[in-house]
Structure 1
Amino acid sequence: MKKLCLIAILFIAATTYGQIKMTGVVRDSLNTPLELANVVVINSATNALESYGVTDQQGRYNLELQPNTSYNLQVSYVGLKTFEETFTSPEADLNRDFSLQADNALDEVQIVYEMPVVVRGDTVVYNADSFNTGTERKLEDVLENLPGVEINEDGQVEVEGKVVNKLMVNGKDFFDGDTKLATKNIPSNAVDKVQVLRNYSEVGQLSGVRNNQDNVALNIKLREGKENFWFGNVTAGAGASPDNELYLLQPKLFYYSPKYSINFIGDLNNTGEVALTRRDLRGFGGGFRSPSRTSGTDLNLGDNSLNFLTNQNNALEIESKLAASNFSWAPNPGLDLSGFAIFNSSRTLSRESSFIRYTDPELGIPDEAIDQRSRERSDQGLAKLSLKYQPNFSNQLDYDILGRLSRDSQDQFLTSSVVGGTVQTDEITPFSINQNLNYYYTLDENNIFAFEAVHLFKDEDPFYNAILGNDPDGDDPYDTTAEALGLDQTLDTYNIAQDRRIKSNQLDAKLDYYLVLNKRSNLNFTLGTILSKQEFNSNIFQFLDDGLVFEPTPTINDGKATNDTEYNFSDVYLGVHYRVKTGKFTFTPGFSVHSYGNKNSQFGETFKDNFFRILPDIETRIQFKKSEALTIRYDMRNQFTDVTRLAQGLVLNRYDNIQFGEPELQNALTHNISLLYSSFNLFNYTNVFARAGYTKNVDQIRQLTDFESVIRTSTFFNSNFADETASLFGRIQKTFGKVQASLNVGLNYSKINQFIQGNRSINEGFTQTYTPRIRTNFKVAPNVTFSYRYSVTENNQGGGKTTFRTNAPSIDFDAYIWKKVTLRSRYTYTDQDLGNGNSQSFQNWDASLSYRKDRDSKWEFEIKATNILNIDAQVRNSANNFSVFVSETFIQPRFITGRVVFTL
């Protein structure tokens, strides 16, 4: 890492060598410094933007220019007359102050060159062309060029360290604001401006009474000529691989007009280019947000979806199909209708080899080598319809309905060094309906009412089947577990299965009343409730050789092999918050009083737990400058589990993972402290973001685990020992002319109490990650991005310590040659030190070469190669409470495809 830092310093020095600085102050006619005035310098010979600046609170600007060059200079400020002149830069640094005069003829003002960045209150507007280099093809390429904007590893867009939770195109939601669909599919040549909307509120009536500083939205402004006209592109391709013929078809069509919009995104390929993963679709909330998210109550309904073997992007074979359509229609100024429908299908062949080492030899658990092969099938469908009715500013009604239906299955073939061969099948066909109703009413300037309600119905039916070998006359590794489950041990195989059915029905609603006391303070009274009902049924059975079904009686857990559990939860709460602004500070102290009711019925018994609790919270925001702030928040939260942890009957998660619940589980209590700092400085081109958090869990629900060989049996209880986590993430980004340098730092510490074989031990983990990066943004010369990720993971697992070190340099290269050819390349190398003198490494190299006659050409031809080095597998190391994993995930071989892109 030291060598990389030295190279970075030399690279920045080389690119900035020979430049001069132009500094000064911009004032108005009264000699008052102007903040957020724009200073633009254009090269007179090329008419290209040379440098730009935005003044700070003292009216100062700072530019970098080439010496002995003729420039056109523009200094502008809203409401004042623009200053323009032509000058030749000297060989030494230059200081110039400017005084802008009142403009009485604004209609005559013409700014001949657009500012790259304009700040208007809470809105930051980027001019895309000022940052584009010619190699951009998608919206994500445009966003990655913008200062202060990042796309993280999950494909989410971050602005000043905050995740963007809504994306719009010309003010209309794009697939309900989903950022990944937008960044991967909207063509870059359609983007004119990128508007960052900080402190974003979807309800204008509440913008002045709620804290919205964590809400960030993006609005993509289309170029002229893209409205009232279809635009987009269609990509078709083919290629060859060692085993299959490759194909690809990706139509992306968009239509926008002032009244309505229609979008269609299609994807059909077997090249491993996954438009949306199963994880993406599960997190596709359709804009639904729980009304009780700030109440202090966290109710977990559980997730019973299948755990597929590998990440969908890393597999031997991947076939993907996607069809997604989105529309919006405004029949009149007060009514907006919108909706979307998505169908996603995938077929995946995966393989993973792993070695599990148990860290405490006193537990008597043997180490295990496992080879897993999996064939996965997934079909998922989503559809949503939304209505927004706002006849005037004082009234707004929103209604949304979202339906989900999926069919997932997985066949696995496992070979274990301890258990032997196993065949597993998982299937699930869940569906859910989510409804949302909101009404906002402003009685007068001092009294505002807001009603929000969300209803969820979810039905899940996971099925599991495992077949293991058995010698009726000998000893087998699974015999002890089979006896405990009550299985018939006289057969040649153990063919065990379990049906489960989980139905969830939940209403989450609240009524807010805002009393505006004055321009700086208001009171908020909240009356809310959460009503939830879950039903859980399951039974374990064994398929016999004659096709009959045997229902065993276990010798453990008092013989309880089935579940028929009903769990009812209620929370009625009243909250009071006071919000006041004084100078740079905004204080929002408050509390909520909760009346909780829990009841679960099973095996002829009913278990109840009713109690009251007061949950305090406070938030303090310090606004140092318009673009610099610190937010500190503390809250206390109650956490409640789902029905599967309360159910007493056995649950077969896998053949080697058995659990049963505890009906008298109580809630866990957490204390949470968070700090958020952000600074967006256009004067010195420096952006700083930091986020820190600390959580302490009291009465945490923990697992009590016993092992028989590698077969684990777990139950749950409320631990008297507190668990703690602390984290810190920071990013600093600075631009030096055409070079952008950044450093990301992540620190995570956890202290977890674990209970194995009846013994308590403490697992402490500490992870450090450092990622420096250098990125160029030249208009003509090729651009490169150097990145280096260094991480250290230390785990003290009571019985032993493990340390993993990862070094992962990468380089991205793109060039726009002769204004016709685009060359792109990405190379990554990952080396992992296992801490025992051994290390493992893998590398990957992808590249593409495309040709188009010019930027306005309708046709483009591309050759793309992935996994050029033909690497077989990627290596991953990790550790949990009591074991260390080393795994190899096998990936697709080298693919080479030819593609044709037609642009509408």
Structure 2
Amino acid sequence: MFKTLLVFLLTTLSYSQVHTITGVVSDDTNKPLESANVIAKPLQEKASLKFAIADNKGRYRLELEKEVKYEITVSYISFIEEVFILEPNASVLTHDFKLKPSGEQLKEIVIKHEFKPILIKKDTLIFDVKSFANGNERKMKEILEKLPGVEVDKNGGVTVQGKKVTRMLVEGKSFFGGGSKLAVENIPADALDKIEVIDNFNEVGFMKQVSDSDDLAMNVKLKVDKKKFVFGDVEAGAEVGNADNGFYLGHAALFYYAPKTNLSVIADMNNIGKRMFTYSDLMRFGGGMSSFLSGRKSLTNLYSFANDNADVVENRSQFGAVNFSYDASPKLAISGFGIFSKVITASRTESANEYLNNSSIAFENKLQEASNQSVLGIGNIKLDYSPTKKEKWYYNAQYQSSTNDLISTINSITNINSSLFETISKADNTSVKQYVEWHKSYNPHHTTTLVVNQAYDNNKPQNNWFADQPFLSGLIPLEDDLTYTVTQVKKVKTNSVDALFKHYWIINDFNHLYTNVGNNFSTSHLETASKQLITDGSINDFTSAGFGNNVKYQLNDAYVGIEYKFRVGKLTSKPGLYLHWYRLLTTQSAIENTLSKTLFQPQWDIDYEFNKSETLRLMYKLENGFPEVSQLANQFSLQNYNLVYKGNALLQNEKYHSASLIYSKMNMYRGVNWNGMLRYNKKVNTIRNEIQLDGINQFSTPVLTDNPETTYSANGSFTKRIYRFSLRLNSRLSWFNYSQTLNSVTTTNDRTSQNVGILFKTAYRKWPDFSVGYNKGYNQFSGITKSNFQTDALTAAGDITFFKFWTYKFEYENLKNTNNNNQSNFYDIANTSLRYQKKNSPFGFELSINNLFDNNVKNDYSFSDYLISERKTFILPRVFMFSISYKL
């Protein structure tokens, strides 16, 4: 290992054999040709092709090998290619290209070479995979990490030039609902031919010029020999070294792509905390909503199926997914997916809590142990019908069913007494979601869209609390008993119907007018009942003490809106004004409350394009939010062992302003990439919970106040390519100012955080992949008290191939937490693996070690309006795993 690293370090210092050539690409009038493609093709074996893209001033930069002869070709839309031959060891440092018009209006740049590393259209980047891969990559994720401007985070999220990929496609069709994690971690690297990145993506081609989509899609083009056969891989692994723990891993990813039929199957079972998808991916699966109404709040909470299962002491998960598409005819396509997930976990946490009263502090040491079983099934089918090239219909239907069974034990020791609580919870949830979309283009100037969306949810959670002594004294009406058992049943049924009609009028190339008419109608029925089960068999019903809710809720939002989009030079502006008629009706305890409001909601989007690689965008919106049914339920309900909640039937709407400023710049000539975002949110009318705190016991109720809440946030990144390395700087800043009422005293609170980081990694495919990073974080709270904590995070990762067939990988994280008393805790986690696979062999063998240092816990600090907590989370032990994979 030491020798390998030494060779790597020596290699990084020996870059004197590089010949850098620069120049300018322009037309015959000396006008710079921005984004011109510059390709350097080696004219001898064992040398790699090089490429560059001209910046907004037409400048390009190529780093070539001195001993190699190159044919440098420049291409640009509607211009004749120009070729320059660079001899080996040439002393040429600069060369300018002047292209002559071809007289033809080409739709794209065509490079007449065997390799096309990167192809540029108006809104599309196309990467040729073989120009970036070295052949040792296993999965799509490893390919993406080598594409310029593309990054993949540890959760499988993909960003391109700082913008997040929101839709994942394979051969132009949605892959498992469009989520990225299942694609990047399962599609074999050797199946990839090209990667297309499509900005302002829209499924309906003729809607692209009017829909103003913010979606960034990534489309995977497969190799020709992968389009008619089954391909993929299977893997099986078992613990070695300490088989007493019984750790195992089984995984399969199989794909079949043909001109009319596509089928993908992914299956996984393991007990090492490896999760198959992120929460954002799962919300995409469970969304079941038209993208034209994607701003609506989801009714379903699926977080327990996608949280971080690694921070547990036991984990067993089973996952299966099927994705299919079938072209029934040239006009009709059928697609869909099915998801099954079963997760069984056991967790253990220790917390030292300080509850901050206005005049005193209560201390609590809490040990919590929990076991949870979650089962989820999702079925989704979508019909895509195109009667003509200018008309499109979609119908999508989805069914979900889930159960959550939780057993939790809490040992709470305070400065007054100690208590033992046990919670047994069971939740059965079902939902049905469907929508219809219709799009029609009548002529080049008029297009219409109609969307109808329906969603139904039925949730039935049931909670049982057991205690060895009375709890929540004064808040719940307990009768004396030997032990204490409280049960609560909750039923929530929600249904919503959303309709939108939109007309697009293209007046000319510089002026568009969009008209919107819509209505959203939602109903909810909330029922809760709480009671104490006495040891002698009698029942102490809490209804007479103000517990138990029966609320019927209706909210109707009818609206009309107009948006005017115009372009002046490099500036594109789209102001909009919406008029909403809201009517909220609630019925509880035979009393009806009605709230009707007519509200104007303006919005404005402004885009300024300095050039093709530098943009600035400003967005502003005024919105109103109405309370949910649980916030309006005016009877008491028990939330957990130390919290009672009561809604407020008199709540009205919140009003808030939101604005954001986004800047992006990419300059391949200088090897620089800038991305930055500023956000501002201000709530004028705010719904916030008032808290009554007695020791650790809490009573909470929401109130509407005129106290504003203001949030400022900023984040940015700067990436610079330095020779064959990449340097990345990033920062995140935030400030949240709000008022909180605690025990009838209102204080002004400030929460602030700052985070800065640096990452240095190799960026040359012939070298080992290596990265090292450092992040420094600060968090402050000022309110009832002042508190702060700091974090120091050091990360490192490496991927080294040696002796052709061996690949060694490692990743390391060291996190240190320091509180305002200058007390520190830390943990470090390391994972490593060694893999052997011959290039043309279907078999691969891998020895991996998770949690190499056998750490037992993770530590962290946190604070809220009235609570400061130091938490210790127990995690899975060290796992030695030997696995065998077979590639089809």
Task: Give the TM-score normalised by the residue count of structure 2.
Answer: 0.94
User: Structure 1 residues 635, 681: closer, same or farther in 2, change over 3 A?
Assistant: same
- Partner-residue secondary structure (3-state), 1:366: strand
Deviation per residue, 1:275-322 (Å, 9 max, x gap): 13677534534562464567xxx7x67666787997322111111101
Q: Which moved more, 1:461-470 or 1:238-247?
A: 238-247
How far apart are residue 529 of structure 1 and its match?
0.6
Deviation per residue, 1:47-66 (Å, 9 max, x gap): 43253211223332111234
Q: Does structure 2 conserve the Cα–Cα contact (< 8 Å) formed by 1:192 and 1:223? A: yes
Structure 1 Cα separation of the partners of residues 737 and 10 of structure 2: 42
Q: Does structure 2 conserve the Cα–Cα contact (< 8 Å) formed by 1:176 and 1:287? A: no
How far apart are residue 873 of structure 1 and its match?
0.6
1:865-876 matches, cutoff 5 A: 865-876=849-860
Equivalent residue, structure 2, for 1:484: 475
Aligned counterpart for 1:608 among listed residues 577, 582, 594: 594
Deviation per residue, 1:221-275 (Å, 9 max, x gap): 1122111111100011111447421222111100111212000000011122121
1:116-515 matches, cutoff 5 A: 116-152=117-153, 154-212=155-213, 214-240=214-240, 241=242, 243-276=244-277, 280-286=281-287, 288-289=289-290, 291-292=292-293, 311-360=308-357, 362-418=358-414, 419-470=418-469, 478=471, 481-489=472-480, 491-515=481-505
Q: Does structure 1 conserve the Cα–Cα contact (< 8 Å) formed by 2:177 and 2:285? A: no
Structure 2 Cα separation of the partners of residues 581 and 132 of structure 1: 41
Structure 2 Cα separation of the partners of residues 279 and 467 of structure 1: 35
Equivalent residue, structure 2, for 1:473: none
Structure 1 Cα separation of the partners of residues 284 and 447 of structure 2: 32
- Partner-residue secondary structure (3-state), 2:181: helix
Deviation per residue, 1:316-359 (Å, 9 max, x gap): 11111011000001122221110000000111111111111234
How far apart are residue 443 of structure 1 and its match?
2.0
How far apart are residue 78 of structure 1 and its match?
4.7
Aligned counterpart for 1:884 among listed residues 868, 871, 883: 868
Deviation per residue, 1:642-671 (Å, 9 max, x gap): 100100111111121110100110010001
Q: Which moved more, 1:131-140 or 1:301-310?
A: 301-310
User: Structure 1 residues 285, 688: closer, same or farther in 2, change over 3 A?
Assistant: farther
Give the aligned residue type for 1:121: K
- Partner-residue secondary structure (3-state), 2:328: strand
Equivalent residue, structure 1, for 2:694: 708
How far apart are residue 736 of structure 1 and its match?
2.7
Structure 2 Cα separation of the partners of residues 655 and 305 of structure 1: 23
Q: Does structure 2 conserve the Cα–Cα contact (< 8 Å) formed by 1:75 and 1:83? A: yes
Q: Does structure 2 conserve the Cα–Cα contact (< 8 Å) formed by 1:341 and 1:382? A: yes
User: Structure 1 residues 228, 763: closer, same or farther in 2, change over 3 A?
Assistant: same
- Partner-residue secondary structure (3-state), 1:635: strand
Structure 2 Cα separation of the partners of residues 616 and 293 of structure 1: 19
- Partner-residue secondary structure (3-state), 1:484: coil
User: Structure 1 residues 832, 218: closer, same or farther in 2, change over 3 A?
Assistant: same
Give the aligned residue type for 1:535: H
Structure 1 Cα separation of the partners of residues 759 and 791 of structure 2: 16
How far apart are residue 779 of structure 1 and its match?
3.0
1:819-838 matches, cutoff 5 A: 819-838=804-823
User: Structure 1 residues 96, 750: closer, same or farther in 2, change over 3 A?
Assistant: same
Deviation per residue, 1:158-180 (Å, 9 max, x gap): 22322211110111110121111
Q: Does structure 1 conserve the Cα–Cα contact (< 8 Å) formed by 2:179 and 2:284? A: no
How far apart are residue 783 of structure 1 and its match?
2.1
Give the aligned residue type for 1:55: A
Structure 1 Cα separation of the partners of residues 672 and 286 of structure 2: 34
Give the aligned residue type for 1:889: T
How far apart are residue 424 of structure 1 and its match?
0.8
Q: Does structure 2 conserve the Cα–Cα contact (< 8 Å) formed by 1:537 and 1:563? A: yes
Equivalent residue, structure 2, for 1:534: 524
How far apart are residue 689 of structure 1 and its match?
1.1
1:598-677 matches, cutoff 5 A: 598-677=584-663
Correspondence 1:35 to 2:34: yes
Structure 1 Cα separation of the partners of residues 832 and 153 of structure 2: 21
Question: Percent of aligned positions with the same letter in both sequences?
Answer: 28
Structure 2 Cα separation of the partners of residues 584 and 287 of structure 1: 37
Give the aligned residue type for 2:437: N
Aligned pairs, number? 872
Q: Does structure 1 conserve the Cα–Cα contact (< 8 Å) formed by 2:757 and 2:773? A: yes
Q: Does structure 2 conserve the Cα–Cα contact (< 8 Å) formed by 1:309 and 1:350? A: no
Deviation per residue, 1:417-440 (Å, 9 max, x gap): 124211111211111111111101
Equivalent residue, structure 1, for 2:846: 862
By relative contact order (CA 8 Å, sep 6+), the higher-ranking structure is 1
Q: Does structure 1 conserve the Cα–Cα contact (< 8 Å) formed by 2:769 and 2:800? A: yes
Q: Does structure 2 conserve the Cα–Cα contact (< 8 Å) formed by 1:306 and 1:427? A: no
Q: Does structure 2 conserve the Cα–Cα contact (< 8 Å) formed by 1:695 and 1:724? A: yes
Structure 2 Cα separation of the partners of residues 549 and 763 of structure 1: 44
Aligned counterpart for 2:571 among listed residues 585, 598, 614: 585
Structure 2 Cα separation of the partners of residues 465 and 769 of structure 1: 42
Equivalent residue, structure 2, for 1:7: none
- Partner-residue secondary structure (3-state), 1:645: helix
How far apart are residue 110 of structure 1 and its match?
7.5
How far apart are residue 781 of structure 1 and its match?
3.0
Give the aligned residue type for 1:140: K
Give the aligned residue type for 1:447: H
Q: Does structure 2 conserve the Cα–Cα contact (< 8 Å) formed by 1:780 and 1:816? A: no
Structure 2 Cα separation of the partners of residues 155 and 261 of structure 1: 23
User: Structure 1 residues 363, 334: closer, same or farther in 2, change over 3 A?
Assistant: farther
Structure 2 Cα separation of the partners of residues 588 and 744 of structure 1: 31
Equivalent residue, structure 1, for 2:4: none
User: Structure 1 residues 290, 390: closer, same or farther in 2, change over 3 A?
Assistant: closer
Structure 2 Cα separation of the partners of residues 210 and 142 of structure 1: 31
Structure 1 Cα separation of the partners of residues 694 and 11 of structure 2: 59
User: Structure 1 residues 260, 647: closer, same or farther in 2, change over 3 A?
Assistant: same
User: Structure 1 residues 638, 335: closer, same or farther in 2, change over 3 A?
Assistant: same
Give the aligned residue type for 2:423: Q
- Partner-residue secondary structure (3-state), 2:776: strand
Structure 2 Cα separation of the partners of residues 85 and 513 of structure 1: 52
Q: Does structure 2 conserve the Cα–Cα contact (< 8 Å) formed by 1:310 and 1:889? A: no
Aligned counterpart for 1:571 among listed residues 557, 575, 578: 557
Give the aligned residue type for 1:485: I
User: Structure 1 residues 220, 64: closer, same or farther in 2, change over 3 A?
Assistant: same
Equivalent residue, structure 2, for 1:4: none
5+ residue gaps, structure 2: 1-8
Aligned counterpart for 1:793 among listed residues 753, 767, 779: 779
- Partner-residue secondary structure (3-state), 1:751: strand
Equivalent residue, structure 2, for 1:900: 884
User: Structure 1 residues 486, 145: closer, same or farther in 2, change over 3 A?
Assistant: same
How far apart are residue 363 of structure 1 and its match?
4.2
Q: Does structure 2 conserve the Cα–Cα contact (< 8 Å) formed by 1:52 and 1:115? A: no
How far apart are residue 379 of structure 1 and its match?
0.5
User: Structure 1 residues 677, 621: closer, same or farther in 2, change over 3 A?
Assistant: same
- Partner-residue secondary structure (3-state), 2:120: strand
Structure 2 Cα separation of the partners of residues 492 and 110 of structure 1: 84
Structure 1 Cα separation of the partners of residues 300 and 562 of structure 2: 33
Structure 2 Cα separation of the partners of residues 310 and 388 of structure 1: 33
Deviation per residue, 1:109-128 (Å, 9 max, x gap): 97344233221111011222
Q: Does structure 2 conserve the Cα–Cα contact (< 8 Å) formed by 1:19 and 1:66? A: yes
Structure 2 Cα separation of the partners of residues 553 and 335 of structure 1: 56
Structure 1 Cα separation of the partners of residues 149 and 581 of structure 2: 44
Over aligned residues, Cα RMSD in angstroms?
A: 2.4
Q: Does structure 2 conserve the Cα–Cα contact (< 8 Å) formed by 1:504 and 1:534? A: yes
How far apart are residue 835 of structure 1 and its match?
2.3
- Partner-residue secondary structure (3-state), 1:786: strand
